[in-house]
């Protein structure tokens, strides 16, 4: 299995990262995450800055020390949270421009500005193992010229982000930015990923990828929600997850680069993406779904609910709050050895979730993360040489 070396250890590919959005994985401790097989996490730059403060984290010795998490951490740029705020707000002071993103902070009412440079400074203060450039998603039904302008800004921000990254990491020239032949650079400096944008437009995705590849980054990320609302020209794919677009974008990225499908996703979607070269994934689904009683289990473990599958891999879903589980004395999954499956019944966990008891939220989350950890071990990234990523 291919591996990526970082300052805080190896990332085995393919890798799934649960979201520690506000500096924690909801309902569980980081030790619970470790016990569930989690090896790497992603946390949110903007929320960390707002809720905790990156300078404070730097003073305390970095995010790993603060969390007491001795494994890899990836940070996003903070951009997605800002864009969601700007696009869902009627406040005309919330705007996106070539400079960056200016917005009224909903927490304290103060004017804030996030730029490609400030995002890199915040992530450097945090001390993450993998940082992300500020990107410009295409949101909503806008014209082609507006979408193209989004891609132009996205590329400009990536270039400025890399320049700041080189400066704050004391990389004196471009050669010192490069990966070395045995891929030990991840121990020496953070890795940096840019984000391919373009919405659901194949032409613009290609343009974005070409421009970012020319700039040269360690990692290339799929940005924006990979969803579509109709059958597409390649296959009669079901509505929802945009298989063709993920396949198309993966083929644009050199195979000697790390490929990160942001926000993907359901187990079968991750399996599909791994087949087509994607290496890393993150989503809130296993943790959020757990808190709502949506439980991932091995095939044959559900009670009259449909099986989901991809090729030879299958699993079932328990909608645990349903009446059919009220008297069910079995564990969630009789093939699972997690603390949830070893200590409580479906009936009792259903009760805990229905009354929103914290113990139930914790146990369900632990189980779903266990399921994802075991699912990832079943997947194999197509063989590529990740030891010479810069070549």
DSSP state of 237: P
CA–CA dist 119, 190 (Å, integer): 14
Catalytic residue among 32, 76, 316, 328: 76
At 229, phi and psi to the nearest 5?
-115, 5
CA–CA dist 227, 231 (Å, integer): 11
Q: Which residue has the tokens 């008891």?
A: 357
Pairing of strands 313-319, 111-114: unpaired
* 42, 79 Cβ separation under 8 angstroms: no
Catalytic residue among 19, 32, 135, 282: 282
Positive or negative, the CA dihedral 374, 271, 147, 159 is positive
Going by C-alpha positions, the residue among 19, 42, 25 that lies closest to residue 219 is 42
Instruction: Tell me the two tokens of residue 284.
Output: 């809130």
* 19, 44 Cβ separation under 8 angstroms: yes
Give kind and range of the element (H or E) at residue 324: none
328 is catalytic: no
The partner residues of 298 in beta bridges, in order of sequence, read 315
Q: How many C-beta neighbours within 10 Å does residue 285 have?
A: 21
At 259, phi and psi to the nearest 5?
-120, 125
Instruction: Tell me the two tokens of residue 52.
Output: 């905790």
282 is catalytic: yes
Own/partner pairs, 156-160, CB within 8 angstroms, 24+ separation: 156/98, 157/100, 157/116, 157/133, 158/116, 158/133, 158/194, 158/195, 158/211, 158/212, 158/215, 158/217, 159/215, 160/115, 160/116, 160/117
Q: How far is CA 184 from CA 79, 176, 221, in A?
A: 29, 12, 21
Annotated catalytic sites, by residue?
Answer: 76, 282
């Amino acid at each position: 299995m291919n591996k990526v070396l970082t300052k805080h250890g190896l990332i085995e590919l393919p890798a799934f990262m649960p979201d520690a959005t506000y500096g924690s994985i909801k309902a569980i401790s980081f030790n619970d995450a470790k016990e569930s097989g989690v090896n790497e996490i992603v946390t949110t730059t903007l929320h960390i800055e707002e809720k905790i403060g990156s300078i404070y984290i730097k003073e305390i010795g970095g995010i790993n020390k603060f969390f007491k998490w001795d494994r890899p951490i990836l940070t996003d740029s903070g951009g997605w949270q800002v864009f969601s705020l700007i696009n869902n707000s009627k406040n005309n002071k919330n705007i996106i421009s070539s400079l960056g993103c200016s917005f009224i902070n909903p927490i304290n009412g103060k004017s804030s500005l996030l730029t490609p440079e400030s995002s890199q400074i915040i992530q450097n203060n945090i001390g993450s193992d993998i940082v992300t450039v500020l990107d410009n998603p295409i949101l909503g039904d806008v014209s082609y010229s507006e979408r193209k302008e989004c891609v132009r800004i996205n590329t400009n921000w990536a270039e400025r982000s890399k320049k700041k990254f080189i400066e704050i990491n004391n990389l004196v020239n471009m050669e010192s930015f490069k990966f070395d032949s045995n891929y030990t650079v991840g121990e020496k400096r953070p890795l940096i990923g840019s984000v391919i944008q373009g919405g659901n437009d194949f032409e613009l995705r290609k343009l974005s990828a070409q421009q970012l590849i020319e700039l040269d980054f360690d990692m290339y990320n799929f940005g924006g929600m990979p969803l579509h609302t109709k059958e597409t020209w390649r296959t009669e794919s079901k509505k929802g997850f945009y298989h063709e677009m993920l396949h198309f974008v993966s083929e644009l990225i050199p195979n000697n680069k790390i490929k990160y499908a942001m926000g993907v996703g359901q187990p079968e979607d991750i399996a599909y993406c791994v087949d087509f070269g994607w290496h890393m994934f993150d989503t809130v689904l296993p943790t959020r779904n757990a808190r709502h009683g949506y439980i991932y289990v091995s095939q044959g473990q559900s009670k009259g609910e449909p099986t989901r599958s991809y090729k030879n891999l299958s699993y079932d879903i328990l909608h645990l709050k349903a009446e059919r589980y009220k008297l069910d004395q079995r564990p969630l999954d009789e093939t699972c050895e997690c603390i949830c499956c070893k200590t409580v019944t479906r009936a009792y966990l259903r009760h805990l979730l229905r009354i929103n008891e914290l113990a139930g939220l914790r146990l369900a989350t632990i189980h779903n993360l266990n399921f994802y950890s075991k699912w990832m071990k079943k997947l194999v990234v197509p063989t590529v040489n990740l030891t010479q990523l810069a070549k």
